[in-house]
Structure 1
Amino acid sequence: MTRRATLALALLACAGAAQAARESVLRQVDLPHNYYWRELYVPQLTTGPDFASFTPESDALIYSMGGSLWRQRIDSDTATELTHAPRSYDNQPDVARDGRSAVFTRYDGNAVELWQLDLTTGREHALTSDGAVNLEPRLSPDARHITWVSTQGTGHFNLFIADIDANGLHHARPLLGERKTTLDRYYYSAFDHAINPSWSPDGKTIYYVSNPEIAWGTGDLWSVPVTDPSKRTKVLSEETSWNARPEPNPDGRRLLYTSYHGRQWQQLWLTTPEGAAPLPLTFGDFDRRNARWSPDGKRIAYIDNQPSSGDVGNTALRVVTALGGATTTIQPIHRHYKTPRTRLVLDIVDEHGERTPARVAVIGPDGRAYAPDDAWMHADDGFDPALQSTETHYFHCAPPCALDVPAGSVKLWVQHGFAYAPWRKTVDVSAGHDVSLRAALVPQPLPAAFGDWISADLHIHMNYGGHYRNTPANLARQARAEDLDLAYDLVVNKEERIPDIAAFRTDADPASLPRSLVLHGQEYHTSFWGHLGLLNLGDHFITPDFSAYRHTAMASPYPHNGVIADLAHAQGGLVGYVHPFDTLPDPAHDAVLSNELPADVINGKVDYIEVIGFSDHKATAQVWYRLLNLGFHLPTGAGTDAMANYASLRGPVGLNRVFLDTGGKRDAATAMGALKAGRSFASNGPLLGLLLDDAKPGDTITTGRHHYRVALRSPVAVEHLELVHNGQVVKVFELGSNHQTFDDEGDIDLDGGWLLLRAWNDGADPQVLDIYPYATTNPVWLGDRGRTPSAHDDAAWFADWLTRTIEAATARDDYNTAEEKRATLDYLSQAREAYRAMAGNQTSNEPTRSSR
């Protein structure tokens, strides 16, 4: 694919470029839920090691780290860089048995291609150039063949095989072909995948993972004869979560793989090629993965994320003896780089001159991202190819931060939440000359008259199967770097496991910081009704944590979300609909419409909705406006749905947040009171202030002529700032030359209903790591009339919506009992009739929403 001229980093682009075309990373992969497979399967840029392969003598390793391949002896603390490609990142090395070459993957922001490295001469050459995603290359024992996983031709992960020599690949072909399942799948493609290949010692068999007729999980361990792919055989049924990577030992009698097998964390397990009962080889409350046998069978190398003494679980490379369990950590204390380096030290201070943690992005003269050796490197989940060559990478810095960068022009971007202006600098560094920089952050808060705000991200997952091992203490540090006051860790299942179940508690986590409070709530999962956020649970975690999982023992659509909301409210909790809509629901044309939101709102079950979240903010706002038009005082919250231990995420923590007018108090009770009362605004960047006479969002005033005051403070340029009355724009503000700071006041005539202020852009802005900048206040309510003139049509629309939801619920054949089905359909039908009554009665001023 030919690319237009690109810039190295979002911070170099002009802010607010009209109609910026943000695209998903590796958009050529045709699988749902790319935020799962990209993190759990595709290699990521990490400062620590990620994949390793032994050299033939079993005394050294070639491994990936920081986007390069490195060689290091097991008994040494010195690593030598073998590859370093501009604007690209290398990973997944596999060393030939004769030690002369290695194959690996290279990601350039567009595709992942296979490359070969001559370990004697250092020569590199590409093996593929098809623009696909090519992963997990494995050489046969005689180094004459190669197998790997590719999306070539289909967009799905399939096994390929080819002959290989010094001139490249020959006779490349799919090994198994495509197969479509008969099952309904939610997190996985309708087409089976085949991943995690490895060779048997005699080169006749390939072991791999696949999911024929499996609805949940990555699949089972399989084997296939290379010369007769029709004779594939299941080895072991297992929930493998993308990286089981079955690996035979050198004599072929045992099969090493990774599993969590009824636990919360992945460890190393052993079975046999015949699928004998598996037994664990390692233990611990952290992940071990990407394991490889040494050629002599005496050692196993693997990657883990065991938290260190600093309470941070970065990736690390270990070697353990197969007999005895003695473990060696491969520490690259001394590094021999391919290019000259210098030490860059960054200090960050606030307006008081006090050191302040912040998010930092650093791009070297080679177009690659850099971070301190012990920092967690994170990556955005999308970017505009016209403005960047790859996605933005960043880390959180507790200053001072020191990192090694290549000599030349280095670009830096520092961001500390939304109330500080971004800090940017380009500095030329020379090899061997240390450079110290001081980033002085400049505040740009809203005027005090609009409120005394704290910010909260209502939807974070501390751990969710990612590269890193997070802790409450580190989550608090992440929040502090993002200037986030409240971080809600919503404990939830990742398919069979619930990684953070041990962290759940009903009070604030003792690891919280004075200015960044960590709280633990719950996300209730169902692929049918819509996901719920449950905050401030006062007694216990609600189980089961999911329903309506087809083809499982918890397939029944009961309990529906209304039942779960009642259970949460009984504990004093708040219930919200999270990441609601990627597109505007269409009751007339949607193939299936099962979301339960309208029924739960009219029955008084919902306390907030994430208008700004991991969804399309504009589409969600259109649904929200219709509910407001019916008189439902449903406030907006905001949540990033950040998987805070991912290397690649739609984030960071606090990307989508709600600002709560609490008088500056940071306790959970005051914050939740402000959330439920609507004394707030939600944003992914712009700060908004709205006063109508002396009323703030959440207040109710009389109809008539009012004096408004508005304020905008934004770290990025805003294209549109508008007053919205009953879903219609009634005032467009001309922002002039400054699209980041704006104040205005005037008079406006308003009848009943509601009024809010919103800011938005048409397209993406590279400085906001979201689909586009967006912010909205909650409404100021007008008069005592609960419904707007459009209420008739809005109620009819929701009634039609629920008709489709009833159709979907009726079609399900997996309720446990007839009573479950009857109760569910009755609940939906009663809600639909209430909307029909509202649609047919335009004289009543009050909504029929029941109260708790």
Structure 2
Amino acid sequence: MSAVLLLAVALAGVDTAVAAGREPVLKQVDLPHSYYWRELYLPQLTTGPSSASFLSDGQSLVYSMAGSLWRQRIGETEAVELTHAQGAYDYQPDVARDGRSVVFTRYDGAGMELWRLDLASGRAQALTTGGAINVEPRLSPDGKRIAWVSTQGTGHFNLFIAEIDGNGLHNARLLLGERRSTLDRYYYSAVDHAINPSWSPDGKRIVFVGNAEIAWGSGDIWSVSLNTRAPVRILREETSWSARPELAPDGRRLLYAGYHGRQTHQLWLSTIDGAPPLPLTFGEGDRRNARWSPDGRRIAFIGQDANGNSALSVMEVIGGATQAVLAKQRRTLAPTARLQIQVRDGRGRDVPARVSVQGSDARAHAPADAWMHADDGFDRAAQATESHYFHCASPCLLDVPAGSTSVTVQHGFAHVPWARRLDLAAGSTTTLHADLQAQALPSAFGKWLSADLHVHMNYGGHYFNSPSHLALQARAEDLDVVENLIVNKEQRIPDIGHFGESVDTGPVRIANAQEFHTSFWGHLGLLNLRDHYLTPDFSAYRHTAMASPYPHNGVIADLAHAQQGVVGYVHPFDTVPDPAKDPVLSHQLPADVANGKVDYLEVVGFSDHKATAAVWYRLLNLGYRLPAGAGTDAMANYASLRGPVGMNRVFLEQRGGDDLLASLKQGHSFVSNGPLLGLLVADRKPGDTLAMAAPGPTKYKVALRSPVAVDHLELVHNGQVVKQFELGGDRRSFDGEGEVDVAQGGWLLLRASNDGADPQLLDLYPYATTNPVWLDVPGGAPPAREDAAYFAAWLGRVIEAAAARDDYNDAEEKRATLDYLSAAQAIYQGKARGK
């Protein structure tokens, strides 16, 4: 989950990130927390089906799969491709009642537009233009009107309606006006949205999901008459973007997807009058995007297959008999070729890897059973759409359009990325050998295991993950340890059944830990919990029974430590907190550090690494030996996310044992999203203390190995750069040694960074830092009074925010919270006075 929103500007002089050229995939959408609505609501490229609509005969379907629309008869195994756009992807088909045409959504990297396909001629026609996000097209029963959701004009998801004929759309207009909620919302916009439209069988009403005066979840199910335009609530339920309610042809039964106290989405039936819902489906995995057959006897829906990939099924309403719609043969619009990719490491062994394939159609391709993933940002000057990739368990086999094809392969940070372009002849089979070149750090700097301290195996995404599949993802990324942080998603905790498990697959160890959620204090990673999951796993959820800011993070840290847990702050800062300017400041990190509650800080994570490091340096200056950790916050079952499992990782030194958490807590490590760093200061490694008899020069050795070019490699002493290394050639490798003058005690570390993004690294920008080597010098470290005053002012604002809350359960909770914060503030105030 994202860092606590801190509407701040960076402090003067701090090197803030400029992700040169990299922009969000859908920058025109003006809504918070894009990693939720983009994955949970908008269509994504998957190799399996993602949505479907019945043809008028009720015996065939039109569905989206691998970026095209396909037609297939139920019970048969051949799928016929209907659309295949150059450099664009087609989703969300809705078949006209007369069976002659299909409306759908097309994504081209710039926006999502509505299109119409004439099924007889194959002619496709654009219905909207302008670069907005236009999704969920639904034709009225008589085919004369269309409803859909668009961000046109506002950047928010609103219901639109228009007349439609052979010439296109006419009189497009908002169905409901925009309104601003009186509630403060964290994960959702202050402006209400209206999504998931469908028509009543008589064409007089539209059923939809809206969040008017709803604080949490994507909203309730509503009905609106096209005559009165006055919405009426049908069902109150906390939904999560994909309820997609639809009335049966009888006009009475209401089908939708919901979790309703369960861990996954299932299909439910209510009525137009809002009768208590009853479930239609059960079991693991999600069932979503459901559609009635024209006669109301069948339901088509998207679930997941045995490998967790998206899958299309048709269920009989009476009896529940369900059959999979499998495209075992595919009749494509253009000739194809078969490509086998075999990935080998530097010693000639097959290894799994991350692979990207772009065909002659300027589209991404993957094996039919692979999970396709997409980046959350890209440089529009360099790419037409975001990067896509899949994890190949070498060898892997896929079909691609004939012609020029590009392939890139990556396997963690210690191998050079591999790329080839080749021309594939129609009907041919080609085997491509990707022989990777190793680039490990010299052994003198240590023996390392890499760990991603912040992964969510399942978090409501398009796929259904398992420990075995998560291990495959980790192996492909050359990752040794995964900390699966089990956490709530709305009212559910998707991976709660795995708590207490520890999975060791040999090359990969998966530990099941916990993330503690609060949008007020900041989020915590709780590793190595030996006894039980901490519930409730959130606090300060306004407008709920758990609105109280108590327990604060210090209480949770004590509960975790009581069962031998390791406590860290995760995805801390997108900007540097400014106590003088931030409208609200409630992040509790300084208080918990002063009170000895924090074991590590995600310096590299789902936040701005340079902003987080700026705060970290101030804490180090005050003598707090707070180790850097790293975690991607990867929602590993998402189709769209900022980087794969292991993109942000900590390299933990093995010092004669396998207690990696001890190495984490002691700082025997470095953190990175790409560059590998080695540092020796007079033979001391990160986390060690160098005792010097007197100030003066001391020897150092440094090393850099990186899969991408690096702009800056620097030694940093007490927050100041004391040595810049000149990088030549491809700027991916460097070895150096020399002397650095140490005039004062404190700390010294090595960092690597870039000014902007690199398309080969799916993060804001390349960044890595070692933990400090601590310098024990006569006279000690500088007093850092300015840094202490900064945190004292910070906590003053936190106390102000905490005192203003009116939703503590009782006076004792408020008193205990304010006393805790005040005690920490007093520590910083004392340091600011030189005590």
- Which range, TM-score by smaller chain? over 0.9
Give the aligned partner of residue 11 of structure 2: none
Distance 1:189 1:580 in 2: 22
Question: 1:441-520 alignment to 2 at 5 Å?
Answer: 441-505=436-500, 508-509=502-503, 512-520=504-512
Give the aligned partner of residue 409 of structure 2: 414
Give the aligned partner of residue 184 of structure 1: 184
Question: 1:60-139 alignment to 2 at 5 Å?
Answer: 60-139=60-139
Are 2:719 and 1:727 equivalent residues in the alignment?
Answer: yes
Give the aligned partner of residue 214 of structure 2: 214
- Cα distance 1:403–1:541, how it changes in 2: closer, same or farther (>3 A)? same
- Contact 2:19 2:764 survives alignment (8 Å): no
> Residue 18 of structure 1: CA displacement?
9.9
- Contact 2:104 2:116 survives alignment (8 Å): yes
Give the aligned partner of residue 794 of structure 1: 787
Distance 1:195 1:604 in 2: 46
Give the aligned partner of residue 371 of structure 2: 376
> Residue 19 of structure 1: CA displacement?
6.2
Question: 1:239-258 alignment to 2 at 5 Å?
Answer: 239-258=238-257
Distance 2:710 2:505 in 1: 32
Distance 1:350 1:818 in 2: 62
Distance 1:538 1:300 in 2: 44
Letter in 2 for 1:810: A
Give the aligned partner of residue 524 of structure 2: 532
Letter in 1 for 2:559: L
Distance 1:100 1:778 in 2: 64
Q: Deviations over 1:371-402 (max 9, x none)?
A: 00000000011111011111110000001100
Distance 2:56 2:655 in 1: 66
Letter in 2 for 1:686: P
Question: 1:707-746 alignment to 2 at 5 Å?
Answer: 707-746=699-738
Give the aligned partner of residue 565 of structure 1: 557
Letter in 2 for 1:301: A
Q: Deviations over 1:750-781 (max 9, x none)?
A: 12000000000001000100000000000000
Give the aligned partner of residue 548 of structure 1: 540
Distance 2:327 2:779 in 1: 66
Letter in 2 for 1:496: Q
Distance 1:89 1:472 in 2: 31
Give the aligned partner of residue 59 of structure 1: 59
Distance 1:785 1:274 in 2: 79
Match of 1:696 among 676, 685, 692: 685
Q: Deviations over 1:584-625 (max 9, x none)?
A: 000000000000000000000000000000000000000000
Are 2:385 and 1:396 equivalent residues in the alignment?
Answer: no
Give the aligned partner of residue 277 of structure 2: 278
Q: Deviations over 1:208-249 (max 9, x none)?
A: 0001111000110000011221x2100000111001011111
- Contact 1:689 1:710 survives alignment (8 Å): yes
Letter in 1 for 2:574: D
Give the aligned partner of residue 612 of structure 1: 604
TM-score of the pair, normalised by structure 1: 0.95
> Residue 25 of structure 1: CA displacement?
1.1
Distance 1:405 1:28 in 2: 31
- Contact 1:630 1:787 survives alignment (8 Å): no
| Contiguous gaps of at least 5 residues in structure 1 | 1-16, 845-852
> Residue 485 of structure 1: CA displacement?
0.3
Q: Deviations over 1:445-479 (max 9, x none)?
A: 00000010010000000000000000111111110
Match of 1:780 among 773, 776, 781: 773
Letter in 1 for 2:147: T
Question: 1:739-818 alignment to 2 at 5 Å?
Answer: 739-750=731-742, 751-783=744-776, 788-789=781-782, 791-818=784-811
SS of 1:565's equivalent in the other structure is helix
Coordinate RMSD, CA, aligned: 1.2
Letter in 1 for 2:303: D
Match of 2:328 among 326, 333, 349: 333
Give the aligned partner of residue 820 of structure 1: 813
- Cα distance 1:18–1:727, how it changes in 2: closer, same or farther (>3 A)? closer
> Residue 790 of structure 1: CA displacement?
5.7
Give the aligned partner of residue 7 of structure 2: none
Are 2:626 and 1:626 equivalent residues in the alignment?
Answer: no
- Contact 2:299 2:314 survives alignment (8 Å): yes
- Contact 2:621 2:746 survives alignment (8 Å): yes
Identical-pair percentage: 68
- Cα distance 1:798–1:70, how it changes in 2: closer, same or farther (>3 A)? same
TM-score of the pair, normalised by structure 2: 0.97
Q: Deviations over 1:339-366 (max 9, x none)?
A: 1001100011112211100000000011
Letter in 1 for 2:799: I
Distance 1:182 1:301 in 2: 38
SS of 1:822's equivalent in the other structure is helix
Distance 1:46 1:499 in 2: 21
Distance 2:19 2:204 in 1: 53
Letter in 2 for 1:132: A
Distance 1:785 1:639 in 2: 37
Give the aligned partner of residue 683 of structure 1: 672
Give the aligned partner of residue 589 of structure 2: 597
> Residue 502 of structure 1: CA displacement?
0.3
SS of 1:823's equivalent in the other structure is helix
Q: Deviations over 1:633-690 (max 9, x none)?
A: 000000000000000011200000000001486x4xx110100000000000000000
> Residue 786 of structure 1: CA displacement?
9.9
Question: 1:14-29 alignment to 2 at 5 Å?
Answer: 20-29=20-29
Distance 1:19 1:664 in 2: 40
Distance 1:373 1:305 in 2: 14
More displaced, 613-622 or 781-790? 781-790
Distance 2:606 2:394 in 1: 30
SS of 1:169's equivalent in the other structure is strand
> Residue 785 of structure 1: CA displacement?
7.2
SS of 1:810's equivalent in the other structure is helix
Give the aligned partner of residue 3 of structure 1: none
SS of 1:546's equivalent in the other structure is coil
Question: 1:644-663 alignment to 2 at 5 Å?
Answer: 644-663=636-655
- Contact 1:53 1:292 survives alignment (8 Å): yes
- Contact 1:290 1:302 survives alignment (8 Å): yes
Give the aligned partner of residue 148 of structure 1: 148
Give the aligned partner of residue 236 of structure 1: 235
Q: Deviations over 1:120-169 (max 9, x none)?
A: 10000110002110010000000000000000111100000000011000
Letter in 2 for 1:349: R
Match of 1:424 among 413, 419, 423: 419
Question: 1:296-335 alignment to 2 at 5 Å?
Answer: 296-306=295-305, 308=306, 312-335=307-330
SS of 1:526's equivalent in the other structure is coil
Q: Deviations over 1:89-135 (max 9, x none)?
A: 00000000001111000001110000010011000011000211001
Distance 1:730 1:296 in 2: 75
> Residue 738 of structure 1: CA displacement?
3.1
Distance 2:115 2:188 in 1: 28
Letter in 1 for 2:420: K
Distance 1:284 1:478 in 2: 24
SS of 1:57's equivalent in the other structure is coil
SS of 1:256's equivalent in the other structure is strand
SS of 2:267's equivalent in the other structure is strand
More displaced, 786-795 or 213-222? 786-795
> Residue 532 of structure 1: CA displacement?
0.1
Distance 2:235 2:146 in 1: 24
- Contact 2:465 2:636 survives alignment (8 Å): yes
- Cα distance 1:214–1:91, how it changes in 2: closer, same or farther (>3 A)? same
